[in-house]
């Protein structure tokens, strides 16, 4: 195995762990600011690889880098009406017993003097801020990564610059070959003396800015003479070309053939085009819509993952990818023949996309996700606001313990989904070459 492949996996996992760590800091900082006692800050799951204690909080790294957490005391309120001086009657029923066990576990870490430092007693808006901090950090990281990509590196785009791979002869579409024969006619570009590196800037006085401009103007011109403005070695020039009519694939739908369109015979050059900060927001907005659609269609997507894992169906390139699959992509990127600039760009794009997806997924209003706690805090705020308006007694805290059975069921589904994704990423991964 190529050592660069392994390095790529390690680099991506490190980037992912940093993202996870910052997500948890997004929870940790407001929790401490609002006085909640935080006993643990951990990156990863499983057994602890390293930890240290600073004040009342243990900071550490665990061996399985698939997540992280902070442990806040008093996440669940005690049972309404409990009297700590009396023995509470035992719960009946499996679900009720599960809820009461969770309550007991939540209260075990509450020490004398911690009454105002438990999470459940904080104001509703403080709970919302604490639980929104993680996804918010992911969105900030996503914006930073996308800004580095678009503004600092640029997006790959086809420029109207003649590529060195341009053929100098007209090869019929029906013939699947890349080399010219002695019987092939020279292209109009070759006859006019075009060279690799020439930038097309106009056709018969009409401005060419992008490769799409060049394609549109050449095709619509049809067969016949034209004046082609170019820049060669920094100097503007005009070439007299005679376009010919050819059947060519449609740029938007390659399966469709456009008949007798104008043909020059040049290939574009891929360049990294830098964008503005405003375009970063537009790019993120468009991608956010696509990610939201993927989350809404997640059950259907997971069916496709099942068929890909066990029936050998082709993976959907727009479908979900787990940490294992993303790590493999990181290795493939670094071991590829791409330029260093493109490798960095793809790496940054991968981390940006993962942070955006993690942030949005965590906003789903279901426990154990952050969105479930956010929804609980908002509901508590609505209830208290309504009671204040109607001059009614202030309602109690929202008791999320009542939905713990559903929470555990959702957690189990998430574990199964993560396992299925990991298996599919191992046996039938999405690769850059597909």
pLDDT at residue 81, as a whole number = 57
Provide the CA 21 distance to its chain's centre, in angstroms. 17
Q: Which position among 24, 100, 332, 380 bears the catalytic label?
A: 24
pLDDT at 405: 80
How confident is the model over 318-340, as pLDDT tens digits?
A: 778 888 888 888 888 888 888 88
**For residue 100, what pLDDT is reported?**
61
Q: HEC string of the chain?
A: CCHHHHHHHHHHHHHHHHHHHHHHHHHHHHHHHCCCCEEEEEEEEEEEEEEEEECCEEEEEEEEEEEEEEEECCCCCCCCCCCCCCCCCCCCCHHHHHHHHHHHHHHHCCCCCCCCCCHHHCCHHHHHHHHHHHHHHHHHHHHHHHHHHHHHHCEEEEECECCCCCCCECCCCCCCCCCCCCCCCECHHHHHCCCCCCEEEEECCEECCCHHHHHHHHHHHCCEEEEEEEEECCEEEEEEEEEEEEEEECCCCCCCEEEEEEECCCCCEEEEECCCHHHHHHHHHHHHHHHHHHHHCHHHHHHHHHHHHHCCCCCCCCCCCCHHHHHHHHHHHHHCCCCHHHHHHHHHHHHHHHHHHHHHHHCCCCCCCHHHHHHHHHHHHHHHHHHHHCCCCCCCCCCHHHHHHHHHHHHHHHHHHHHHHHHHHHHCCCCCCC
Give the pLDDT of residue 133.
Answer: 95
Per-residue pLDDT 10s for the chain (434 aa) are: 578 788 888 888 888 889 999 999 999 999 999 999 999 999 988 899 999 999 999 999 998 877 889 999 888 777 665 544 333 444 444 555 556 666 666 666 777 888 889 898 899 999 999 999 999 999 999 999 999 999 999 888 999 999 998 888 888 777 777 788 888 889 999 999 999 999 999 999 999 999 999 999 999 999 999 999 999 999 999 999 999 998 888 888 878 888 889 999 999 998 888 888 888 988 998 989 888 888 888 888 888 889 888 888 888 877 788 888 888 888 888 888 888 888 888 889 889 998 999 999 999 988 888 999 999 999 999 999 999 999 898 888 887 777 778 888 888 888 898 888 888 888 888 776 54
State residue 83's pLDDT score.
43
* Residue boundaries of the structural domains of the chain: 1-154+275-434, 158-273
Domain spanning 158-273, CATH class: mainly beta
**Can you give the pTM of this predicted structure?**
0.80
Per the annotation, the verdict on 24 as an active-site residue is yes
| 32-48 per-position pLDDT tens digit | 999 999 999 999 888 99
pLDDT given at position 101? 66
């Amino acid at each position: 195995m190529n050592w660069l492949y392994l390095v790529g996996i390690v680099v991506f996992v490190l980037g992912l762990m940093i993202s996870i760590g910052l997500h948890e800091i997004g929870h940790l900082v407001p929790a401490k600011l609002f006085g909640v006692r935080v006993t643990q800050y951990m990156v990863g799951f499983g057994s602890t690889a390293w930890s240290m204690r600073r004040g009342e909080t243990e900071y550490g790294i665990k061996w399985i880098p698939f997540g992280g957490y902070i442990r806040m005391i008093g996440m669940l309120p005690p049972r309404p009406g409990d009297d700590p001086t009396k023995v509470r009657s035992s719960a009946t029923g499996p679900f009720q017993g599960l809820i009461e066990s969770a309550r007991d576990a939540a209260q075990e870490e509450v020490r004398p003097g911690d009454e105002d430092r438990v999470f459940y007693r904080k104001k509703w808006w403080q709970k919302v801020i604490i639980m929104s901090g993680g996804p918010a950090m992911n969105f900030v990281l996503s914006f930073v990564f996308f800004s580095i990509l678009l503004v600092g590196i640029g997006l790959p785009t086809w420029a109207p610059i003649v590529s060195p791979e341009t053929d100098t002869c007209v090869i019929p579409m029906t013939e699947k070959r890349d080399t010219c024969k002695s019987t092939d006619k020279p292209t109009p570009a070759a006859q006019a003396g075009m060279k690799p590196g020439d930038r097309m800037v106009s056709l018969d006085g009409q401005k060419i800015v992008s490769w799409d401009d060049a394609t549109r103007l050449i095709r619509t011109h049809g067969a016949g003479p034209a004046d082609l403005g170019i820049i060669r070695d920094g100097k503007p020039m005009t070439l007299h070309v005679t376009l010919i009519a050819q059947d060519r694939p449609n740029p938007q739908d390659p399966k469709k053939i456009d008949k007798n369109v104008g043909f020059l015979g040049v290939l574009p050059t891929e360049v990294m085009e830098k964008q503005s900060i405003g375009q970063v927001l537009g790019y993120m907005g468009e991608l956010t819509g696509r990610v939201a659609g993927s989350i809404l269609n997640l059950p259907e997507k997971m069916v496709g993952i099942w068929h890909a894992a066990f029936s050998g169906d082709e993976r959907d390139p727009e479908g979900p990818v787990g940490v294992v699959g993303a790590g493999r992509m990181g290795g493939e990127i670094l071991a590829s023949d791409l330029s260093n600039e493109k490798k960095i760009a793809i790496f940054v794009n991968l981390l940006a996309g993962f942070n955006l997806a993690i942030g949005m997924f965590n906003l789903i209003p279901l426990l154990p996700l952050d969105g479930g706690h956010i929804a609980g805090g908002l509901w508590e705020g609505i209830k208290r606001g309504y009671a204040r308006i109607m001059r009614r007694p202030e309602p109690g805290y929202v008791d999320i313990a009542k939905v713990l059975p559903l929470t555990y069921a959702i957690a189990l589904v998430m574990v199964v989904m993560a396992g299925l994704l990991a298996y599919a990423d191992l046996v039938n991964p999405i690769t850059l070459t597909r």
